Amino acid sequence: MRPESFEFLQKYLNNPSPTGFEKEGQKIWLDYIKPYIDEYFVDTYGTVVGVVNPEAEYKVVIEAHADEISYFVNFITESGFLYLRRNGGSDPLVAPSKRVNIHTSKGIVKAVFGWPAIHVRKVEQDKAPTIETVFLDCGASSKEEVEQMGIHVGSVVTFEDEFMVLNDKFYVGRALDNRVGGFMIAEVARMLKENGKKLPFGLYIVNAVQEEIGLRGAEMIAHRIKPDVAIITDVTHDTQSPMYEKKTSGDIFCGKGPVITYGPAVQNNLRDLIIETAQKAEIPFQRAAATRATGTDTDAFAYSGAGVASALISLPLKYMHTTVETVHKEDVESVTKLIYETLLRIEDKHDFRYFK
């Protein structure tokens, strides 16, 4: 990876972008892609779209989502402890002893997820932490002191864990789901520009908000763009770590390439074009099967308007919705290359219908 791209990746991943509060991360992303696009627009809720060939009638989307899971302050006790609600799929099981940032109008307030010491608990009666039992300690001794710090019900809470490289093979951090996707589609835009590739259609590079609470940003922007084709990238579970059941979760590996999904929302001819592209470009890939839905922004695009030919290219990831989400460096490069090479094979007014 070139140094400038690596610097962008670190900066973008380390910046908090909680669901519904993605603005600052979206600014970082937009600043990076501006040299590689013709124009851009931002919708009411913060989804950012970079456009190449905006005058073209035929429209192709490449998309990732920008938001990360987080918490809201929900209740402040008289003694100054904070109880929370989840904003997206935050997992209270990983919370105890973690450090957090509470976002206030006065700036960041530091806090920790406290937990009683093993000495004073009846360990044989321990139960897993839940949203009702985990709490934050911001060093205050009263509700009034908490409020003086700028904290109130509705204040957003994010983990402070930051990016690192593991064994020179893996990228690790919070919110790789799915800001690493935003990184990859930004790199596609850069590669197209720097390699002088002229596409015969309009390309819409979409960094959508609010995926973690129901694909909401993608739903809104799909109605606005009205694309003909949408290629979505998100993360999927590496299933090689302990405690995964491969019979239900599949057999997916970090380091063995992009994952191409089969499912009702995935348009078969577009998916086959992606597979043929991978084979022709000698990009290793894996396959996965969805059930009724992919659970990604693919579903929002596929079923928007009169229907959009949509497909999903996933990045294998370990430890989803924790602070140590982990992806393989080679997979990041391979997903980026596969999206890039696929775009070069899509024709103007490409007809993906099964029959005519």
Annotated catalytic residues are: 211
15-18 long-range contacts, CB within 8 A, separation 24+: 16/68, 16/70, 16/101, 16/103, 16/158, 16/175, 17/66, 17/67, 17/68, 17/175, 17/179, 18/67, 18/68, 18/69, 18/70, 18/87, 18/88, 18/103, 18/156, 18/158
Q: In this structure, are strands 156-159 and 135-137 parallel, antiparallel, or unpaired?
A: unpaired
* Sign of the alpha-carbon dihedral angle for 228, 204, 305, 264: positive
Q: Assess contact for 237 and 320: CB atoms under 8 A.
A: yes
Cα–Cα distance, 250 to 54 (Å, whole number): 40
Phi, psi of 49 (to 5 degrees): -130, 120
- Residues 52-81 as b/e (b if ≥16 CB within 10 A, e otherwise) read bbeebebbbbbbbbbbbbbbbbeebeeebb
Q: Assess contact for 97 and 158: CB atoms under 8 A.
A: no
Cα–Cα distance, 300 to 331 (Å, whole number): 25
Neighbour-count burial of 102, counting CB atoms closer than 10 A to its CB (0-12 exposed, 13-18 middle, 19+ buried): buried
For residue 146, how many C-alpha atoms fall within 13 Å in the half-sphere facing its CB? 23
| Residues with Cβ within 8 Å of residue 214, at least 6 apart in sequence | none
Q: Helix 329-343 to helix 268-280 angle, to the nearest 10 degrees?
A: 110
Strands laid side by side in the 325-328 sheet: 164-166, 170-173, 325-328
